[in-house]
Chain A
Amino acid sequence: DGGITQSPKYLFRKEGQNVTLSCEQNLNHDAMYWYRQDPGQGLRLIYYSQIVNDFQKGDIAEGYSVSREKKESFPLTVTSAQKNPTAFYLCASRLQGPGQPQHFGDGTRLSIL
């Protein structure tokens, strides 16, 4: 089945540790996105990528890093500089162009140990 796969579903981070969240899609979408959602809050854009080897900061990029070496993959690293990483992380992708919706993975819940 075509779709977006995020892993792991749950992740725990120790203080001072970097952790990487995986996002893979087989929808042949050009654009990929990472969002963070806190309890009772809306989605906030961390990073997005419109094409391989290119990505842009979103509204809350500090403490995060990404790479886009392959069209299918857009991993997100939560660095130790992100002091409040506990949240629900959502990866999404879409075809470029007007009228194209986003499709989401089923998310990763990150907590601090």
Chain B
Amino acid sequence: RKEVEQDPGPFNVPEGATVAFNCTYSNSASQSFFWYRQDCRKEPKLLMSVYSSGNEDGRFTAQLNRASQYISLLIRDSKLSDSATYLCVVIGSGGSNYKLTFGKGTLLTVNP
């Protein structure tokens, strides 16, 4: 099993749609989780951290399920500007807390 796996995508949705991405991780001791957004030919930018209790930022909701070892990102009322690649990131714990593992990303295209 890969350390971090994401939905293969690509996702093509109409404006206004709700879309959800999942990301599974293999290390049960992982401590920290994030979603990043990467636009074409640009650097990844932090979208949001993922907390155990779940967290929301406007149209974006992130959730963590430790028992099943996955994180999710829900985007409501999709905008054209949401088109990007979404990367999940997991940070190991203890001696490996320096190492971040990135998923390969899921491409989202929001269509007019």
A contact set with B: CB distance below 8 Å = 31, 33, 41-43, 45, 48, 50, 88, 90, 94, 96-107
Q: Is the CB of B42 within 8 A of A98?
A: no
Q: How near does chain B come to A24, taking the closest CB pair, in angstroms?
A: 15
B contact set with A: CB distance below 8 Å = 31-32, 34, 41-46, 49, 87, 89, 91, 93, 97-100, 102-105
Chain B residues positioned under 8 Å from A101 (CB to CB): 32, 34, 46, 49, 89
Chain B residues positioned under 8 Å from A31 (CB to CB): 98
Chain B residues positioned under 8 Å from A102 (CB to CB): 46, 89, 100
- Name which residue of chain B comes closest to A41, CB basis: B104
- Name which residue of chain B comes closest to A58, CB basis: B99
Q: Is the CB of B44 within 8 A of A104?
A: yes
Q: Is the CB of A106 within 8 A of B87?
A: no
Of all A-B residue pairs in the complex, the 10 with the closest CB atoms, nearest first, are A42-B104, A104-B43, A98-B31, A43-B102, A101-B46, A106-B43, A99-B32, A98-B32, A107-B43, A101-B34
